[in-house]
Structure 1
Amino acid sequence: MKYSFCKNLSFSLLSMSLLLPYSALAINTSLIVNLPAEKLNWKVTPEGAAFAALEGDRFKGPYMAMVKLPAGITSPMHVKSANMYGMVISGTFSHIAKDAKLSSEIQLPAGSYYMIPANLPHISKCISKVECVSFLYQDGKFDFITELKQ
C-alpha cells in the first residue's frame, strides 16, 4: 500500500510538473502585445517630430514610444528632466553634449543605442537623407526645455 501511494504521488507530481509550463504558457500568451508598424498611431508635433505611444503617457510619467524626426533636422540646445534611452531603427542620428567638441560627434545608424542623461544640455540631429526613426524609453515624463540656465 505504501508503494502504491508513493507511486501515485510521484506520477501526480510528474504530471503536474510537465503540465505547469504549458498552462503558464497558455496564460501568458494572452499578455503578448503585437503592434504592426502600419498600426502605429503617429502624432506630429508643430516642430515636425512624430511620436507613436507604445506604453505609458509621455506627458505624465515614464513611457515607451517610437519617434520620427524629419531628414536633416537639428534640434535647438535643450535638456530633458528624465533619462532617455534609445535604439535607432532607421536613418542616422547624432546627439552631442553642449560643451563637446564637434569632432566627437558620433553617427548612430540603424541598430545603434544611445542614452542621454537627465539635465544634460545637448543637440539631437537626424543627419541622414531619410527620416530617422527610434525606439525611446524615458524614465520620467517628457519635456523639452530650451531656456537653459547659464
Structure 2
Amino acid sequence: MLKTLAAIMAACLSGGALGGSSGGASWPADTLPWRGLPGGEGIQVADVAGSLTAGGPYQAFVHFPAGWNNPPHTHGSDLPTVVLAGVFYAEAGGKRTLYPAGSYYLLPAEWPHASGCLPGADCLLFQFQRDRFDLKPLR
C-alpha cells in the first residue's frame, strides 16, 4: 500500500497531475510551508504547487484538527484526495464513508456532501485539482 501511495504522490508532485512542467519538486516534511486557511478555524494548508486559495490548479497538503466537521457543501470541480493520517469521512444521502490513512477518494464536482475528521487523531490529506478550489455551502 505504501508503494501505491508513494507512486500517487510522485505523479502528483511531478507536475503530471496538473499538466505542469517537467521540473522536479522537493518538500521534506520539515520544510512544508504551513499556513492557516482563512476562515478555516484550525485548518492548515501547505501548498506544494500553485495555491489552494489563489485560484487555478494546485497541489497541497491539508491538515484538519481531530473532530473537525464541514457542514453540507459542494465543490465546483472534482476533488481527488489521499488520506495520509487520521480518519476522514464524506457523508451524503445519510451514508457516511470512512477513509482511514492510506485511502484515496474522488469527490465529484457538484456532489452535495458533508465531510470531516473523526475525533481521536488529526487528519492529514493530500489534495490536487486541475481547476481552482472552492467550497460552496448548501443551505
TM superposition score category, shorter chain reference: 0.7 to 0.9
| 1:48 is aligned to 2:42 | yes
Give the match for residue 135 of structure 1: 126
Aligned partners of 1:76, 1:33: CA distance in 2, in Å? 34
Q: Deviations over 1:64-100 (max 9, x none)?
A: 1000111011101111111100000000001112xx2
Give the match for residue 79 of structure 2: 84
CA contact (8 A) 1:92 1:107 kept: yes
Letter of the 2:137 counterpart? T
Aligned partners of 1:129, 1:71: CA distance in 2, in Å? 6
Note closer, same or farther for the CA distance 1:140–1:31 as it changes in structure 2 (3 Å cut). closer
Which runs of 5 or more residues in structure 2 are unaligned? Answer: 1-21
Q: Which secondary structure state, in structure 1, belongs to the residue aligned with residue 30 of structure 2? A: helix
Identity %, equivalent residues: 35
Q: Which secondary structure state, in structure 1, belongs to the residue aligned with residue 110 of structure 2? A: coil
Q: Deviations over 1:78-134 (max 9, x none)?
A: 11111100000000001112xx233xx222111100110111111111014111001
Greater share of residues in strand: 2
CA contact (8 A) 1:93 1:128 kept: no
Q: Which runs of 4+ in 1 moved over 2 A?
A: none
Which runs of 5 or more residues in structure 1 are unaligned? Answer: 1-29
Q: Over alpha carbons, which structure has the higher Rg? A: 1
Greater share of residues in helix: 1
RMSD: 1.6
TM-score by length of 1: 0.71
How many residues get paired?
115
TM-score by length of 2: 0.76
Aligned partners of 2:23, 2:119: CA distance in 1, in Å? 37
Cα distance, 1:147 vs. partner? 4.1
Q: Deviations over 1:30-75 (max 9, x none)?
A: 9432211111111112322111101112232121100011101110
Give the match for residue 22 of structure 1: none
Aligned partners of 1:43, 1:49: CA distance in 2, in Å? 9
Q: Which secondary structure state, in structure 2, belongs to the residue aligned with residue 82 of structure 1? A: coil
Aligned partners of 1:37, 1:139: CA distance in 2, in Å? 24
Instruction: Give 1:116's match in structure 2, choosing from 107, 110, 114.
Output: 107
Aligned partners of 1:57, 1:73: CA distance in 2, in Å? 22
